Amino acid sequence: MISALIHVARPADPLAVDQLADTLGALVEGVAAGLVGDAVIIAPTHNAAIDAVAEATGATFVVRSGGTPPWSAGAKAARREWVLCLEAGDVPAEGWIRTIDRFIGTARPEMVLGRLRRLHAGLPSRLAAQGESVIGVRAPRAGDLVRRDRLIASGVFSTRLHPRRVNVRLNRG
């Protein structure tokens, strides 16, 4: 099982609740299949509407403090060994449950980072991802599947990690 970490970067944005609902709605299938065990919603500030969505869906709402990376703040509230980092509005494409289940089921203990494809990311993000495939990853981003203990220890990885590609595409809701 995995925990889903959903980061809402701008909770005051009028579309934030709709984007969050798209992501949570896509995860329901994973809950029914027994893959997603819990969800954690992370935001930089408290927002009543997001709090209401979290309460209605059974998710945990975490308001991260000042300089805390969102994924580290969310990982502290997560309950599963693996966490899937998502931005509000990310929707995994068809077949994601089987692929992620296979990834975590076959991952060796030294494997700590898997990376899903985010085709909707802008050109600078895609270029950075290409560079990271060569030099390694210093910090997690949305679309990463990470062992929870590595996120709790620090928001950045002590050594650059080379992510294993997870053949799942993230779309925007």
Residue 122 pLDDT: 67
- Total domain count, the chain: 1
Residue 26 pLDDT: 95
SS3 101: helix
What values do phi and psi take at 150, rounded to 5? -70, -30
Range of the domain at 111: 2-172
Residue 69 pLDDT: 87
Going edge to edge, which strands form the sheet with 60-63? 60-63, 36-43, 2-7, 82-87, 144-147, 113-117, 164-172, 90-92
142: CATH: 3.90.550.10
Residue 83 pLDDT: 97
* pLDDT above 70: residue 120: no
Tell me the residue length of the chain: 173
| Block residue for tokens 């509407």 | 49
Residue 121 pLDDT: 66
Tell me which of 124 and 148 has the higher pLDDT: 148
Percent of the chain with pLDDT strictly greater than 90: 70
Residue 102 pLDDT: 96
* pLDDT above 80: residue 119: no
| Spatial separation of the C-alpha atoms in residues 6 and 82, rounded to whole Å | 14
Look over the chain and give the mean of its residue pLDDT values, rounded to a whole number: 90
Residue 126 pLDDT: 66
Q: How confident is the model at residue 133 (pLDDT cuts 50, 70, 90)?
A: low
